[in-house]
C-alpha cells in the first residue's frame, strides 16, 4: 500500500530517507475537470490541504497559466487516468461534452459541484443527470454550497458546512474525508436524489427572515392605516383640517414603534407557550407542534427586526424638531402667546411625562442594542451558554418591560380620555399594549416558586407519566445551562 503523506505529521526521521517528500502537495491525487474560477480556487485549496492536484482541460496549454505552479494541467483524458476521484467543475449544460471520456471515467468517483441559476421545483438534479449520463461512475453531490471565493479564503464559521449525498456510502465517506482535509464540516444528506434539495440550498434567499419580515410588513400596513384614520382622516372629516403632511414622517414615527413593540412581544411569546405546553404535558419529551418549533427558530430574526424598527423610530424622533413644520408651529404658538399676553405656558405634568418617556425610550433602545450586538455570530460565539441566555432572555425581557413603561408613560392618560377615541377607535398605543401585557403577566406567573420548580424539574428530565406515548423531543435550545 502506498503511504499517505497527508496523514503523516512531520516525521523528522525522514529527512534524507529514500522516499523523498514531494512538493507542498504531499497527499493523494485529486482530479478536476474544468478550468473556470471554481476549478482554479478548488485546485489551490486542495493543494494547500495537502493533495496532489491534476486538472483536465480541453485546452491544457492555455489553461496551465491560470493554475498554481504545483498543479499539473493536462488533457481531460490524461487527468481522468491519473485520479480516482474527479471534481466535475463545468456547467451542467456542458456535461454532455464529457461523453467522449466515458471509457476512462468508468469506475471513477465524480463529484458534482454545480449549481443552477434559478430555483426550479420538480426537476431532476444536476447530479442525477450526471449519473444518468455516466452510469458506470459513482456520482457524489458535494461542495455546491461553497463559492470560489470561500475556497480561496479558506473555510470560515457559518459557511464551513458541505452537504454530501450519493448512492454509494463508500464514495460519500471518501468525499467527506476530502472535505474534512480541506477544513470543511461534511454533512451527510443521504442518497443522490437528495441532490435536488442540496442544489436548492445556495439558491435560497434568507429563508429564516421571510416570516419575520412579512409579519413586520403586515403589522406596518395595519398600524399605518390605523394611524392614518386617526391622525389624518379624522381631523379632515371632523374638523376639515388638512394634515396630509404628516404622511411621510409623523405617521412613520408613530407606526414604527407599534410594529417594533408587538414584534418584541412575539419574541417572548413562544417561550411562554412552550413552558405552558411542557407543564400541561408534564414532560419535555413531547415534541412541540410544528408551528411553535418554527416560531422559536425565528425569534432571533424577529428580535433583530424589532430592534431595527425601534432604531428607525429613534432616528425619526431625533428629526422631529428640525422640521419646518415644528419651526412654524413654534413661531405661530409664540405669536399666539404674545397676542394672548401669557407669560408662561409651562405645564409641569406634560414636562414630566415627556422627560420620563423619552428617557425610558432611550434606555429600552440601549438594552435592545446589547441584544443586537450579541446576535453578531462572532460575538455570540464568544459567549458561553449562560451568558448568551442572560443577554437574550433576561436582558431582552427587561427591554420588553422598559418598552412597556415607555408606552404607558407616553399615553396613560390618553387611554381614559374620550376625545382620543376617534371614530370609537382606541389610541394606537392602547392596542399595542394588549399582547405584551399578557406575556409579562404569564412570565410573572411562571416565575411563581411552585410553578417554576415544576418547570425546572421537567426540564431536567422528570416526567409526569413515564408510560406516556413517546414522541421525539424537539431541540429545546432556549432552556437550561446544563448539558445532557
Residue 101 CA to its chain's centroid (Å):
42
Q: What is the DSSP letter of 425?
A: B
Q: Which of 97, 120, 123, 183 binds its own copies (CB under 8 A)?
A: 183
What is the footprint of its own copies within residues 129-158 (CB under 8 A)? 144-149, 152, 154, 156-158
What is the footprint of its own copies within residues 388-407 (CB under 8 A)? 390
| CB 452 to its own copies: min, Å | 13
The answer to whether 124 contacts its own copies (rule: CB under 8 A) is: no
What is the rounded radius of gyration, in angstroms, for the C-alpha atoms of the chain?
32
The smaller minimum CB distance to its own copies, of residues 101 and 439, is found at 101
The 10 Å CB-count burial string (b at 16+, else e) for 281-290 is bbbbbbebee
The answer to whether 246 contacts its own copies (rule: CB under 8 A) is: yes
The answer to whether 84 contacts its own copies (rule: CB under 8 A) is: yes
Contact 474, 288 (CB under 8 A): yes
| CB 483 to its own copies: min, Å | 5
The smaller minimum CB distance to its own copies, of residues 149 and 437, is found at 149
Q: Which of 241, 280, 294, 327 binds its own copies (CB under 8 A)?
A: 327
Q: Which of 96, 132, 169, 225 binds its own copies (CB under 8 A)?
A: 169
Q: Which of 250, 260, 397, 402 binds its own copies (CB under 8 A)?
A: 250
The answer to whether 96 contacts its own copies (rule: CB under 8 A) is: no
Sorted by sequence, the CB contacts under 8 Å of residue 97 that are 6+ apart come out as 58, 90
What is the footprint of its own copies within residues 24-43 (CB under 8 A)? 24, 26-30, 34, 36-39
Name the segment binding its own copies (CB under 8 A); options: 186-194, 214-222, 397-405, 410-418. 186-194
Using DSSP's 3-state secondary structure scheme, residue 109 falls into: strand
What CA–CA distances, in Å, run from 255 to 218, 260, 313, 348, 366?
Answer: 12, 9, 9, 28, 20
What is the footprint of its own copies within residues 423-462 (CB under 8 A)? 456, 460-461
What is the footprint of its own copies within residues 283-312 (CB under 8 A)? 308, 311-312
Q: In what order do the strands lie in the sheet with 185-190?
A: 72-75, 52-57, 29-33, 85-88, 109-112, 138-141, 161-166, 185-190
Q: Which of 159, 225, 289, 464 binds its own copies (CB under 8 A)?
A: 159
Which of 90, 86, 30, 103 lies closest to 58 in space, CA to CA?
90
d(CA 416, CA 399) in angstroms, rounded, equals 26
d(CA 468, CA 281) in angstroms, rounded, equals 9
The answer to whether 324 contacts its own copies (rule: CB under 8 A) is: yes
Q: Which of 124, 202, 214, 294 binds its own copies (CB under 8 A)?
A: 202
Q: Based on the number of CB atoms within 10 Å of its own CB, is 111 exposed (0-12), middle (13-18) or buried (19 or more)?
A: buried
What is the footprint of its own copies within residues 43-72 (CB under 8 A)? 47-51, 62, 65-66, 68, 70
Which of 290, 256, 476, 273 lies closest to 385 in space, CA to CA?
476
Q: Which of 96, 97, 132, 170 binds its own copies (CB under 8 A)?
A: 170
Contact 402, 360 (CB under 8 A): yes
Name the segment binding its own copies (CB under 8 A); options: 23-31, 289-297, 421-429, 446-454. 23-31
What is the footprint of its own copies within residues 329-388 (CB under 8 A)? 330-339, 342-348, 350-356, 358-359, 362, 365-366, 376-379, 381-387
| CB 418 to its own copies: min, Å | 23
The smaller minimum CB distance to its own copies, of residues 8 and 441, is found at 8
The smaller minimum CB distance to its own copies, of residues 1 and 290, is found at 1
List the alpha helices (DSSP H) in 33-168.
37-48, 60-64, 76-82, 102-105, 126-133, 148-153
Sorted by sequence, the CB contacts under 8 Å of residue 391 that are 6+ apart come out as 370, 371, 374, 383
The answer to whether 121 contacts its own copies (rule: CB under 8 A) is: no
Per the structure block, which three cell numbers stand in for 128? 442525477
What CA–CA distances, in Å, run from 271 to 215, 239, 267, 278?
Answer: 18, 46, 8, 11
Cα angle at 170 between 169 and 173, to 5 degrees? 85
The answer to whether 16 contacts its own copies (rule: CB under 8 A) is: yes
The answer to whether 236 contacts its own copies (rule: CB under 8 A) is: no
| CB 226 to its own copies: min, Å | 19
| CB 238 to its own copies: min, Å | 20
The answer to whether 252 contacts its own copies (rule: CB under 8 A) is: yes
Amino acid at each position: 500500500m502506498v503511504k499517505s503523506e497527508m496523514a503523516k505529521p512531520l516525521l523528522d526521521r525522514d529527512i534524507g530517507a529514500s522516499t523523498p517528500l514531494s512538493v507542498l502537495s504531499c497527499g493523494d491525487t485529486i482530479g478536476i475537470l474544468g478550468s473556470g474560477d471554481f476549478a482554479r480556487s478548488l485546485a489551490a485549496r486542495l493543494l494547500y490541504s495537502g493533495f496532489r492536484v491534476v486538472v483536465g482541460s480541453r485546452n491544457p496549454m492555455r489553461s496551465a497559466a491560470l493554475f498554481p505552479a504545483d498543479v499539473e494541467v493536462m488533457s481531460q483524458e490524461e487527468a481522468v487516468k491519473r485520479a480516482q476521484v474527479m471534481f466535475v467543475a463545468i456547467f451542467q449544460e456542458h456535461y454532455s461534452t464529457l461523453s467522449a471520456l466515458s471509457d476512462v471515467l468508468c469506475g471513477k468517483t465524480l463529484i458534482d459541484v454545480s449549481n443552477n441559476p434559478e430555483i426550479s421545483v420538480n426537476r431532476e438534479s444536476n447530479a442525477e443527470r450526471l449519473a444518468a449520463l455516466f452510469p458506470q461512475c459513482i456520482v457524489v453531490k458535494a461542495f455546491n454550497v461553497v463559492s470560489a471565493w470561500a475556497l480561496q479564503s479558506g473555510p470560515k464559521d457559518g459557511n464551513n458546512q458541505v452537504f454530501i449525498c450519493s448512492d454509494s456510502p463508500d464514495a460519500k465517506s471518501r468525499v467527506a474525508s476530502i472535505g474534512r482535509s480541506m477544513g470543511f464540516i461534511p454533512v451527510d444528506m443521504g442518497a443522490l436524489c437528495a441532490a435536488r434539495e442540496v442544489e436548492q440550498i445556495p439558491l435560497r434567499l434568507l429563508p429564516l427572515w421571510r416570516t419575520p419580515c412579512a409579519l413586520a410588513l403586515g403589522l406596518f400596513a395595519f398600524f399605518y392605516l390605523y394611524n392614518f384614520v386617526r391622525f389624518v382622516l379624522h381631523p379632515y372629516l371632523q374638523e376639515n383640517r388638512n394634515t396630509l403632511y404628516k404622511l411621510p414622517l409623523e405617521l412613520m414615527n408613530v407606526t414604527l414603534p407599534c410594529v417594533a413593540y408587538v414584534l418584541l412581544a412575539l419574541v417572548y411569546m413562544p417561550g411562554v407557550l412552550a413552558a405552558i405546553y411542557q407543564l400541561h404535558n408534564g414532560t419535555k419529551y413531547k415534541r412541540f407542534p410544528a408551528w411553535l418549533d418554527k416560531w422559536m427558530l425565528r425569534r432571533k430574526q424577529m428580535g433583530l427586526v424589532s430592534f431595527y424598527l425601534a432604531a428607525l423610530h429613534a432616528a425619526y424622533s431625533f428629526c422631529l424638531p428640525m422640521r419646518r413644520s415644528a419651526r412654524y408651529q413654534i413661531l405661530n404658538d409664540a405669536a399666539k402667546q404674545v397676542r394672548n399676553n401669557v407669560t408662561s405656558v409651562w405645564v409641569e405634568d406634560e414636562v414630566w411625562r415627556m422627560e420620563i418617556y423619552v428617557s425610558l425610550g432611550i434606555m429600552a433602545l440601549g438594552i435592545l442594542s446589547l441584544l443586537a450586538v450579541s446576535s453578531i455570530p462572532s460575538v455570540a460565539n464568544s459567549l458561553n451558554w449562560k451568558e448568551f441566555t442572560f443577554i437574550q432572555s433576561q436582558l431582552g425581557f427587561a427591554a420588553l418591560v422598559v418598552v412597556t413603561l415607555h408606552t404607558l408613560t407616553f399615553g396613560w392618560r390618553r387611554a381614559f380620555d374620550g376625545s382620543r377615541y376617534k371614530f370609537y377607535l382606541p389610541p394606537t398605543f392602547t392596542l399595542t399594549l394588549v399582547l405584551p401585557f399578557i406575556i409579562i403577566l404569564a412570565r410573572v406567573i411562571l416565575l411563581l416558586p411552585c410553578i417554576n420548580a415544576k418547570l425546572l424539574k421537567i426540564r431536567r428530565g422528570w416526567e409526569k407519566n413515564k408510560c406516556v406515548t413517546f414522541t421525539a423531543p424537539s431541540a429545546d435550545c432556549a432552556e437550561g445551562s446544563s448539558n445532557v
